[in-house]
């Protein structure tokens, strides 16, 4: 439970808000690289932290990410022409380079370009994603070299989908390991509907015991489920401010993960990735599953701003017959199930009416860290997760003998570079 | 005319508002019983007095009516599973019985159910309708045993349709007998369009003289129209806070009526009923007319929250050619005509700009009674209409000799249990 | 650049706002005459300066323009019956004549019509347009006898289209001559897409030098472009508060023009006209071009409130391939291109973030005159443009020898009645 004031403080993301200023201290996933497929391709609109932006790939391949509206008279630069290393406003032909500098003014007999700059944010391309930093220049952290961004393209998959609720609701749904084997459960053997089969390890295990280690990038957390003769131990990471790494269902050399990036106060972009850090590439079948949303992917309308096809307006496609007999929710696809409950709470849920329990330990810790980060930023410091220690971490799951010291088994695989020492 | 402050006071219905608290002292029609057709059927969403609710029929057939959002983390219980005498949230498997008591928590190794309660409201099924009481427990009035709820199913018909304006606008349109023979007039003999034929008794009579008797349930009111050699006397009831009983067009043993139940400040549900208190059941033809909206029924899209098919977005289907030659409005169906004018006034009409006359006597009386009821509730009393005296009342119409004492003729039929004595 | 306060002051148009009161001192185009084609035809809804209105043509052909909502109980008079010299509300049959006087009350046995008046505004029909005056009666200016309203019907063309942004944004786009040869440019010879061909005089000329003469009706302004051996001089008029007269592309005896009439704070109606003041009528071809929006016309959905078919919801139909190869914007039609950039700025652009230059001279002058007019009205005076001197003015374009005194050449044609003397 949060007070109404704390809830306001931790959810709002616009310029000048406490959380907004804190979020601006991190690199954020902005676009899939293929959304700007080639030099001089059409510009792309996006909204991040409540700011309207336009992105373009210049003739030399570099990325520009500018405020959407032309500094001259406010026309949308998204209508603009991307040509010869700059984005040109169609209204009066003012042109801006990737740094935001005005370099041409077609309507002025005596141009005064050097005096005009558009707001521009720094970008970097990593792992097929264009990342942006929207904070103060002197506070820019090292590049977001997550482990998955460094594997070959054949070994990773990235997708995204719009979610119509506040980012914290989505994040809290993602780190909430306790709902996983309940909500995503498939009731019937061989069902064609996505979810966690009744006979899978996780579902068999019942509610997990949670443990949590605070780190300098956020925390690691563990869900331990006793099985018949064994125990199922899963280790996750929460990387500040909105990233989760989660283990695969089986003991594969894979990690799955999400970013829940604030679009504005009432919308977020749910990013999905998974990758193989072993020799095996990701199989085509798995890649297709991701795309179809049967696993961790999503059913999204790419042409329509990556909006989910199942959404509030169509009740997320709930089918009561399927809910009766095949899946716990009657909603198709794991991601869509998550979106459904998270969006069903309303745009920004009132956390002053909650009743949390021990199973919500990770959620409580997240809120504490976020509120702590706001205070750190307000007092001039650098919040957790702005270093580089998260670059090497991995999420893992193991089925272990009952009574085994799961921490001893999991940590070396979760922190491979330091031999299991958590930062 | 009301001041802007009075208009605000008498129209707003949310929790804590003066009118909202007053309306919470009455039983309200919430759902048609067939919307929850069987035990363990899918739950149904609804909104009443600005509160989002979810209803379900438990395994034992009883009705639960809970706040929509799960007390745990706020997911919509409408997505839930209705199973084994309780509604289970799909997010973490918390389950609530019809009293709102939490009875299971799938995500907690050590459940603490007994400490968790969802807001639940008391319900009752009468006349094929599920009624709800949302007020303080110690103030609950006797069940809403309207006369029509006690006749056999063959002798009654109930329907409903969403109306996109404040409930008071709809109520004022309903009790406004003076518009009836004007707006609903059919101009052409044998027109296929619904309304009051030009040669019907009511239309022949011209504007009525209105009289009104205040009672302990609201008021009875009378519209008297002089005909050629006779007079046409019609006796209605207004039962606090939003019910009307009206006589049939002819001297049948029938009563028609409406409830205009506030959904929120800007929407209401218009309930329609009619019944036969004689030996004759309601004819199938009449039932069909009700369904098609040609009489008192409505054209509604049941799958879409009972929204009217003719609505503001399509100008209520107005046809100017039909308006020129066949009906006064060019809009099809009596209920749709009412909805059209009432919705055309905007979501909440500004009553400080009105110009009322003697023909608006019933409307003026209604507002006085509603404002009086607010004061009664504020000073700790029980407002009119929370007793049982309205249970036996009926509406009647009679064609009488000119000069006959219409009150003497109407009252015994309007108060059959007390031999014509008004409470 | 304006301060946020000035921007608020100069853009808002509702009753009681500074700009709203000022705009109410002028005749405004309200409807195309053909929207009320015949006596007793159906009434028409419209919104002007934030007020909801209804217009009707009475049996005697005169025009009534009333507040939309019946003074009785607030039902929309647009649902009403236009019959026997009055508009009758369908709710209770109250009827109003073109002066707003109530002349019948069907629901009252003893009518009190003489005490009831609806708000009514004075109208006049000129040039196929119904004009309205919504200001104080004693301040009504002479009729808006623009030159074009006095030519034969064969010599003029008038159309209109809704624009979904504040009127000042549209006006500023219209008087902004510097964007014309940039944004509307056609890149490819013989393109079928509307705009200014690359080889036209204007486009060849590059950015114009602007000059501006303040007058008692607003200002005249001039764009001078040096060509190879000649100069291209174009003379425009801005007539207070939202009218522009512009010269044709070639040296024809024609004038084009616009009115950008405020519907409310966030919408305006863009009126387009052009006419021939010579002997030649307007050709059918030209008229068709206007209608199709390839020239100065518009692509509008007449049945849907003259809404533009290309609008924000469909990105104004931008085609990036066409933008690459054929037209500067990839948007079809000159008017649609204007709408696109103006609407892309948002409903009311924040002028405190602008960076204006010499090419924005006309825009700066317009704002000054509008702010001056507000002060004039506030101090009890008559603002510019409420006289009659604009009735005789024309816009002209001439290709002149380099070094010629363009002012001497243009003025006699721009002020034909006074032999070139500007008022």
Mean pLDDT for A15-34 is 98
Inter-chain touch C358–A42, beta carbons under 8 Å: no
pLDDT of residue C295: 42
Are A92 and C359 inside 8 Å of each other by CB?
yes
Mutate to test the interface with C, among A78, A94, A109 (most CBs of C within 10 A): A109
C72 contacts in B (CB within 8 Å)? 354-357
Higher pLDDT, A69 or B248: A69
Q: Shortest CB distance from C344 goes to which of A76, A107, A108?
A: A76
Residue C255 contacts residue C247 (beta carbons within 8 Å) = yes
Residue A285 has pLDDT above 60, yes or no: no
> Is the pLDDT higher at A279 or at C28?
C28
Q: Rounded mean pLDDT of A280-307?
A: 67
The pLDDT value given to residue B294: 43
Contacts of B208 in chain C (CB under 8 A): 109
Q: Which residues of A touch C206 (CB under 8 A)?
A: 109
> Residue B345 contacts by C-beta under 8 Å, 6 or more apart in sequence?
B165, B169, C69, C73, C74, C75, C76
Q: Which of B39, B56, B72, B79 to mutate to test the interface with A (most CBs of A within 10 A)?
A: B79
**B43: closest CA of chain C, how far (Å):** 35
pLDDT (0 to 100) of residue B324: 95
Q: Which chains pack against A, by 3+ Cβ pairs within 8 A?
A: B, C
Q: Kindly calculate the radius of gyration of chain A based on its CA atoms and give it in whole angstroms.
A: 22
Tell me, what's the pLDDT at C285? Answer: 57
What is the percent of chain C where pLDDT is above 90? Answer: 80
- Residue B289: predicted pLDDT: 54
Can you give the pLDDT at residue C219?
Answer: 97
What is d(CA B315, CA C76) in angstroms, rounded to the nearest whole number?
Answer: 11
**What is each CA distance from A335 to A201, A256, A330, C330, in whole angstroms?**
20, 13, 13, 37
From chain B, the residues in CB contact with A359 under 8 A are 92, 107-109
Chain B interface disruption, residue of C40, C82, C102, C106, most B CBs within 10 A? C106
In this complex, do A329 and B71 lie within 8 Å of one another by their Cβ atoms? no
Q: How confident is the model at residue B215 (pLDDT cuts 50, 70, 90)?
A: very high
Question: With an 8 Å Cβ cutoff, is C354 touching chain A?
Answer: yes
- Tell whether omega for the bond before B202 is within 30 degrees of 0, i.e. cis: no
Q: How confident is the model at residue B288 (pLDDT cuts 50, 70, 90)?
A: low
Strands A122-126 and A129-133: antiparallel
Cα-Cα-Cα-Cα torsion A7, A13, A19, A21, nearest 10 degrees, comes to -160
Q: Average pLDDT of chain C?
A: 92
If you measure CA to CA, which chain A residue comes closest to C340? A79
- DSSP class of residue B115 equals G
A296-300, B197-201, B418-422, C386-390 — which is least confidently predicted? A296-300
Q: Is A47 in CB contact (< 8 Å) with chain C?
A: no
- Asked if B117 contacts B70 with a C-beta cutoff of 8 angstroms, the reply is no
Choose the weakest-confidence range: B94-98, B156-160, C354-358: B156-160
Contact B94, B114 (CB under 8 A): no
Residue C264 has pLDDT above 90, yes or no: yes
How do residues C211-258 score in pLDDT, each as one tens digit?
999 999 999 999 898 888 899 999 999 999 999 999 987 778 999 999
Strand partners, A288: none
- Are the beta carbons of B358 and C110 separated by less than 8 Å? yes
CA distance A386 to A394: 18
- What is the reported pLDDT for C209? 85
Between the ranges B280-284, B303-307, C14-18, where is the mean pLDDT highest? Answer: C14-18
Confidence of residue A303 (pLDDT cuts 50, 70, 90): confident
Mean pLDDT across the stretch A148-158? 94
Q: Coil, strand or helix: which one is C371?
A: helix
User: What was the pLDDT predicted at A335?
Assistant: 87
State yes or no: pLDDT of A162 exceeds 70: yes
| Whole-number average pLDDT of chain A | 92
**Which of B93, B107, B116 has its CB closest to that of A355?**
B116
pLDDT confidence bin for C196, thresholds 50/70/90 = confident
Return the DSSP state at B355. Answer: -
- Please check whether residue C353 touches A, CB under 8 A: yes
Quote the minimal CA–CA distance from C338 to chain B in Å.
Answer: 28
Strands A196-197 and A185-186: parallel
Using alpha carbons, select from B297, B290, B339 the residue that is nearest to residue B315. B339
Nearest CB to C354 within list A74, A106, A109? A74
Answer left, alpha or beta for residue A202, where phi above 0 means left and psi between -120 and 50 means alpha.
Answer: alpha
Note whether C112 contacts B: Cβ–Cβ < 8 A.
yes
Q: Per-residue pLDDT averaged across A375-393, rounded?
A: 97
> Measured in whole angstroms, how far is the alpha carbon of residue C358 from the centre of its chain?
25
Please answer whether residues A212 and A178 qualify as being in contact, where contact means their C-beta atoms are separated by less than 8 angstroms.
no
Can you give the pLDDT at residue A289? 54
Q: Which tens digits make up the pLDDT trace of B122-146?
A: 999 999 999 999 999 999 999 999 9
The pLDDT value given to residue B210: 87
B74 and A354 within 8 Å at the Cβ level: the answer is yes
Q: Which chain B residues are Cβ-neighbours of C74 within 8 angstroms?
A: 345-346, 349-351, 353-354
Give the minimum alpha-carbon distance from B273 to chain A in angstroms, rounded to a whole number: 31
pLDDT in tens, B55-88: 999 999 999 999 999 999 999 999 999 999 999 9
C73 in reach of chain B (CB within 8 A): yes
What DSSP element (H or E) covers C30?
Answer: strand C27-32
A309 near C CB under 8 A: no
- CB-CB neighbors (< 8 A) of B355 in chain C: 71-72, 115-116
Residue-level pLDDT at B129? 97
Q: Which of B92, B95, B118 to mutate to test the interface with A (most CBs of A within 10 A)?
A: B92
CA distance A212 to B134: 43
C395 has a pLDDT exceeding 90: yes
ipTM: 0.94
Query: pLDDT by residue (tens digit) across B6-42?
Result: 999 999 999 999 999 999 999 999 999 999 999 999 9
The residue that leads in pLDDT, A284 or B291, is A284
Q: Which of A291-305, A320-334, C145-159, C324-338 has the lowest mean pLDDT?
A: A291-305
A82-132 pLDDT tens trace: 999 999 999 999 999 999 999 999 999 899 999 999 999 999 999 999 999
Of residues A71, A107, A110, nearest to C178 (C-beta): A107
User: Which residue in chain B has the smallest CA separation from C78?
Assistant: B344
């Amino acid at each position: 439970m949060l007070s109404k004031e704390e809830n306001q403080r931790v959810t709002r993301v616009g310029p000048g808000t406490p959380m907004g200023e804190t979020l601006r201290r991190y690199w954020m996933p902005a676009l899939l690289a293929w959304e700007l497929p080639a030099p001089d391709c059409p510009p792309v609109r996006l909204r991040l932290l409540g700011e309207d932006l336009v992105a373009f790939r210049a003739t030399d391949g570099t990325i520009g990410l500018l405020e959407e509206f032309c500094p001259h008279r406010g026309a949308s630069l998204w209508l603009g022409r991307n040509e010869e290393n700059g984005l040109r406003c169609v209204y009066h032909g003012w042109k801006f380079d990737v740094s935001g500098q005005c370099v041409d003014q077609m309507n002025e007999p005596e141009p005064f370009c050097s005096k005009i700059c558009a707001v521009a944010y720094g970008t970097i391309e990593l792992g097929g994603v264009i990342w942006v930093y929207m904070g103060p220049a002197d506070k820019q952290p090292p590049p977001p070299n997550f482990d998955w961004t460094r594997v070959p393209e054949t070994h990773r998959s990235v997708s995204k989908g719009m979610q119509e609720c506040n980012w914290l609701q989505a994040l809290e749904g993602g780190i909430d390991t306790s709902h996983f084997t309940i909500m995503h459960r498939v009731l019937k053997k061989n069902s064609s509907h996505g979810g966690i089969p009744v006979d899978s390890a996780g579902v068999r295990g019942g509610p997990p015991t949670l443990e949590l280690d605070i780190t300098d990038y956020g925390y690691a957390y563990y869900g331990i489920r006793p099985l018949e003769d064994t125990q199922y131990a899963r280790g996750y990471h929460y990387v500040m401010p909105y990233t989760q790494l989660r283990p695969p269902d089986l003991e594969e050399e894979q990690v799955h993960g999400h970013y829940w990036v604030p679009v504005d106060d009432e919308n977020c972009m749910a990013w999905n990735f998974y990758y193989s850090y072993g020799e095996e590439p990701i199989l085509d079948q798995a890649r297709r599953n991701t795309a179809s949303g049967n696993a961790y992917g999503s059913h999204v309308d790419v042409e329509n701003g990556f909006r989910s096809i199942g959404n509030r307006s169509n009740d997320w496609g709930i089918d009561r017959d399927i809910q009766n007999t095949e899946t716990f929710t009657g909603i198709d696809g794991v991601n869509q199930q998550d979106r459904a409950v998270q969006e069903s709470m309303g745009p920004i849920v009132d956390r002053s009416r909650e009743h949390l329990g021990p199973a919500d330990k990770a959620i409580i810790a997240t809120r504490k860290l976020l509120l702590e980060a706001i205070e750190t930023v307000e007092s001039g410091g650098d919040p957790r997760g702005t270093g580089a220690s998260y670059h090497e971490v991995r999420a893992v799951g193991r089925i272990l003998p009952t009574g085994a010291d799961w921490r001893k088994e999991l940590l070396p695989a979760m922190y491979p570079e330091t031999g299991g020492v958590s930062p």
